[in-house]
Amino acid sequence: MYRPRKNTIDFTEQKAMEKGRDEDLKEGKRSVALNLKKKGLCMEQISRATGLSLEEIEALG
């Protein structure tokens, strides 16, 4: 399917912005998880609250 150049550039920029938002959201979840971990919450509770896996939470430190 043919796409005019401007539409292709707009699409590429949109995808880049979405990827950046996803990365920012993930970093925010890690930050919250680390704070909850420091406060002594169990990893299962942190996982439920943030959506991070137990492995991701363990890797936080």
Query: What's the rounded Cα separation, in Å, for the pair 9 and 27?
Result: 27
Q: Using an 8 Å Cβ cutoff, are 49 and 32 in contact?
A: yes
| Most distant pair of Cα atoms in the chain: their distance | 55
pLDDT in tens, 41-60: 999 999 999 999 999 999 99
pLDDT in tens, 20-44: 888 889 999 999 999 999 999 999 9
E strand or H helix that includes residue 18: helix 5-38
pTM of the model: 0.70
**From the CB of residue 23, how many other CB atoms can be counted at a distance below 10 Å?**
10
